[in-house]
């Protein structure tokens, strides 16, 4: 507990200092400074309604929680949904989300903040998504007998919960009313330290999210300005991905290459344009309005398009796999039944490992392996169709987590 409190003491100070150089840290500090005024404002708007509080660390965890939110709104429309974020990347993009009733930052964990927040929100149920653990909030919820659920939880053997010195963090897990795990392996990992009556295998709600998204098929008008050649779409790319992709474009000039960088600020787009010297940006495409008859390389410099854009891909590439944090969301393109390729750091990503084990995608180490897999997909009889079918089957066979999660939510809401 000493280390945890030391973290709580030092983190805001470090973030404030980093904010002098780092935009994300600056945004977090500004958000924390204004969080109570925002909470008061949002509370007045939904005062008098029963509230379910859902906490997501960032944008990706919110996407994971969105199927749960939609299911709650459908089955329990009298409840209001209050969403909190830790990271600016979630809050900034989802602060006005129409699917929820209130969005704020989560005030940084402390005994006083936990009491003050619970007094303001007074939730009837709390759902933390995937891997958020805040001791004083969980303790205050337990003191008030508010049920807490950890949904789509993910655990790995190297986490502190399973170390000899992880007693405090084991205690934190025990504060949840129920923990919904993604698979059997995680159940076996957690079962020795938590009462089995609180553990359930639910699966991962992201599969439900991408499956339903793939069925909506909202068209993108500007795609008509590209030639009728097939598209290779590379999403959430970083510099290391882009260096490999640029070299590969020379081998496959029969495709439109659509590059969607992970960051689309002016500096990041300028960096991407330095690599893809033969590319135009989406802004330039829209401004010119030119209809292309030949394949081009297009850099998408706008946010919020990638998930829908994947429907136009013949083959997809997902970035992040050459960075220390690992590959981004491989499920989004796979849901459209297209082969997925990514870099070699996927060790922390169960869904990526599962997709390649199902032969719905490929992991690569370098340009040569990317070229090899593209040629295999294009030139080996039946390969493209089989990999595409495998990707679709992998997504569909793993749907259903939202239904299982709602079953536990209903149980907890029905408790006196």
Q: Where are the beta strands (DSSP E) in 125-188?
A: 125-129, 148-153, 178-181
Which residues make Cβ contacts (< 8 Å) with residue 88, sequence separation at least 6?
24, 27, 28, 31
Q: What is the CATH number of the domain that holds 302?
A: 3.40.50.2000
Of the listed ranges 43-52, 90-99, 131-140, 194-203, the one predicted with least confidence: 90-99
Same domain, residue pair 34 and 140: yes
Task: Report the number of distinct structural domains present in the chain.
Answer: 2
Across 329-334, average pLDDT: 97
Same domain, residue pair 113 and 73: yes
Same domain, residue pair 138 and 33: yes
Cross-strand bridge partners of residue 125: 52
Same domain, residue pair 261 and 194: no
- For residue 363, the enclosing domain spans 216-397
Mean pLDDT of the chain: 94
Is 56 a residue whose pLDDT tops 90?
Answer: yes
Same domain, residue pair 153 and 261: no
- 268: helix, coil or strand? helix
pLDDT tier at 304, thresholds 50, 70, 90: confident
Does 164 fall in a domain?
Answer: yes
Same domain, residue pair 112 and 249: no
Which residues make Cβ contacts (< 8 Å) with residue 317, sequence separation at least 6?
232, 233, 234, 235, 237, 241, 245, 340, 341, 342, 370
The pLDDT, as a whole number, for residue 1 is 82
The pLDDT, as a whole number, for residue 416 is 73
Same domain, residue pair 56 and 71: yes
Distance CA 140, CA 314 (A): 50
Same domain, residue pair 262 and 388: yes
Same domain, residue pair 267 and 168: no
In the numeric block, the tokens 């990999």 are attached to 387
In the numeric block, the tokens 């008030």 are attached to 144
* pLDDT tens figures, 148-173: 999 999 999 989 999 999 999 999 99
* pLDDT tens figures, 351-409: 999 999 999 999 999 999 999 999 999 999 999 999 999 999 999 999 999 999 999 99
* pLDDT tens figures, 8-42: 999 999 999 998 888 889 999 999 999 999 999 99
């Amino acid at each position: 507990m000493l280390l945890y409190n030391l973290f709580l003491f030092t983190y805001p100070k470090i973030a404030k200092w980093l904010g002098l150089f780092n935009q994300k840290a600056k945004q977090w500090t500004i958000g924390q400074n204004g969080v109570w005024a925002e909470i008061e404002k949002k509370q007045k708007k939904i005062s008098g309604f029963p509230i379910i509080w859902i906490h997501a660390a960032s944008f990706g965890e919110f996407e994971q929680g969105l199927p749960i939110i939609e299911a709650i709104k459908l089955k329990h429309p009298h409840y209001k949904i209050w969403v909190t974020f830790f990271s600016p990347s979630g809050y900034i993009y989802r602060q006005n989300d129409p699917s929820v009733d209130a969005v704020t930052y989560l005030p940084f964990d402390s005994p006083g903040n936990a009491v003050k927040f619970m007094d303001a929100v007074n939730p009837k149920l709390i759902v933390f998504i995937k891997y958020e653990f805040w001791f004083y909030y969980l303790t205050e919820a337990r003191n008030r007998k508010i049920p807490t659920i950890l949904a789509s939880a993910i655990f790995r053997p190297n986490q502190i919960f399973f170390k000899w010195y992880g007693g405090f963090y084991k205690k934190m897990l025990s504060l949840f009313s129920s923990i919904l795990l993604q698979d059997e392996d995680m159940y076996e990992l957690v079962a020795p330290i938590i009462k089995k009556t609180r553990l359930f295998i639910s699966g991962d709600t992201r599969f439900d999210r991408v499956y339903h998204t793939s069925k909506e098929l909202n068209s993108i008008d500007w795609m008509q300005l590209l030639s009728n050649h097939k598209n290779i779409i590379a999403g959430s790319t970083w510099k290391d991905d882009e260096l490999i992709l640029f070299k590969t474009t020379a081998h496959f000039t029969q495709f439109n290459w659509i590059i969607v960088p992970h960051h689309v600020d002016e500096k990041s787009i300028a960096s991407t344009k330095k690599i893809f010297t033969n590319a135009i940006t989406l802004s330039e495409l829209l401004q010119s309005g030119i209809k292309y008859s030949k394949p081009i390389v297009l850099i998408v410099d706008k946010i919020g398009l990638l998930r829908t854009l994947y429907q136009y891909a013949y083959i997809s590439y997902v970035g992040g796999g050459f960075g220390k944090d690992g590959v981004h969301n491989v499920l989004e393109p796979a849901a459209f039944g297209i082969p997925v390729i990514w870099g070699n750091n996927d060790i922390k990503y169960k869904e990526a490992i599962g997709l390649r084990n199902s032969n719905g995608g490929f992991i690569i180490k370098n340009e040569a392996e990317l070229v090899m897999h593209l040629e295999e997909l294009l030139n080996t009889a039946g390969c493209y169709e089989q990999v595409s079918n495998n990707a679709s089957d992998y997504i569909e066979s793993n749907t259903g987590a939202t239904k299982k999660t709602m079953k536990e939510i209903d149980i907890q809401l029905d408790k006196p």
